[in-house]
Amino acid sequence: MARITAGVCTSHVPAIGAAVDLGKTEEDYWKPVFAGYEFSKAWIAEEKPDVIFLVYNDHASALDLRMVPTFAIGCADEFAPADEGWGARPVPAVKGCPDLAWHVAQSVIQDDFDLTIVNDMAVDHGLTVPLSLMFGQPEEWPCLVIPFAVNVVVYPPPSGQRCYNLGKAIRKAVDSFDREFNVQIWGTGGMSHQLQGKRAGLINQEFDNRFLERLVDDAEGLANMAPVEYLREAGSEGIELVMWLVARGALNADARELHRFYHVPASNTAVGHVIYENTV
């Protein structure tokens, strides 16, 4: 059977992707950011996941106001990197896993979650920057990736509770997939940041660190936090953190934290990154 063996959560700042693509990772500004992923790169090279179920948000790259699915699952064979205004990132196309994606879709939809099935979708920095942070610059991404997009850009976003419960439904679906797949679930975005308006530049280190604490041993309680609280405490883009709750919901309550990293700032954002090993 397929198994979710680990969860990885990380920020997905576009400037991090540019630093990788333009060879700036050794510069003074960027070095401490990439240092936080050294452990992770060595770890994942050993873990060799077959499939990553990658929860991220599109930033009006493939989905815009014409169509705003709250949850969208990518069921295609391949997903090209999006052109976000400066040409597509020079990273490999993502190879999907249609068999598992369709299986998750049927299981989760019939467990009462409304997913939009997407078969043609370019993937933006929300998905490609986490891959770069974890895998560097390979010729091909070393595993299959199922893109799972959550709307946190157009009001209203889904609640943390719904995201957490969705994670549980995804877990159930993966557990019932009849292939020996080593699956990881990733949650991306966050931590605190606000890109516009009077509070642009907001970072709340206290909130972020408390979030990291509670995600380990009080995920159920953390899931109760209302969307407006993210907005108030973590800024308008801090709501991206609900995607970490999808990943957390797919893991056991006693999943073990293997790695934690927090750094301020990268571009306008507080960077957070955790790895959880699932208990089986």
* N-to-C CA span, the chain: 12
Complex with ligand DHB: residue 12 or 89, whichever CB lies closer: 12
Residue 154 exposure: Cα atoms within 13 Å on the Cβ side: 15
Q: Residues in the site for ligand DHB, rule: CB under 6 A?
A: 12-15, 59, 189, 193, 195, 237, 267-269
Cα dihedral 54, 93, 98, 112 sign:
positive
CB of 6 to ligand DHB, least distance (A): 23
b/e sequence 136-156, b meaning 16+ C-beta within 10 Å: eeeeebbbbbbbbbbbbbeee
CB of 244 to ligand DHB, least distance (A): 13
Cα dihedral 200, 54, 142, 280 sign:
positive
Tell me which of 59, 103, 125, 273 is the catalytic residue: 125
Complex with ligand DHB: residue 49 or 235, whichever CB lies closer: 235
Tell me which of 193, 259, 263, 273 is the catalytic residue: 193
Complex with ligand DHB: residue 73 or 129, whichever CB lies closer: 129
Complex with ligand DHB: residue 14 or 160, whichever CB lies closer: 14
Is-catalytic flag, 273? Answer: no
CB of 139 to ligand DHB, least distance (A): 26
Is-catalytic flag, 259? Answer: no
Continuous H helices in the chain: 14-21, 31-35, 38-47, 98-110, 125-135, 160-175, 205-217, 219-222, 227-234, 242-249
CB of 237 to ligand DHB, least distance (A): 5
Complex with ligand DHB: residue 15 or 146, whichever CB lies closer: 15
CB of 177 to ligand DHB, least distance (A): 31
Residue in 52, 104, 233 with CA at minimum distance from that of residue 160: 233
Dist CA 118 CA 207 (whole Å)? 34
Dist CA 96 CA 143 (whole Å)? 9
* Positions marked active-site: 125, 193
